[in-house]
Amino acid sequence: MARPVKIHKETKSYNLTIPIEDYDQLSEYSELHTNRYNTQVSVADLIRSAVTLYLEDLRQEEEKRNVTV
């Protein structure tokens, strides 16, 4: 079975090294979410979601800094 396309935009690959403990926790959450939502949720899916949320927080913080008082 082919891997499903989850990102419908142009992509770039990046090799990421993280502590084993962090990976193990992500793996547990991916299994939990896969079972809970009856759809495959990978560690990579969780990392991509975390990056998206972090970027949104950074963007909002920059917008606040650019507002004049």
Task: Phi first, then psi: give them for residue 11, nearest 5 degrees.
Answer: -125, 165
pLDDT class of 67 with cuts at 50, 70, 90: confident
The dihedral sign for the CA sequence 47, 30, 17, 24:
positive
Residue range 13-40, pLDDT digits in tens: 999 999 999 999 999 999 999 999 999 9
Report the C-alpha gap between 43 and 45 in whole angstroms: 5
Domain layout of the chain by residue ranges: 41-69
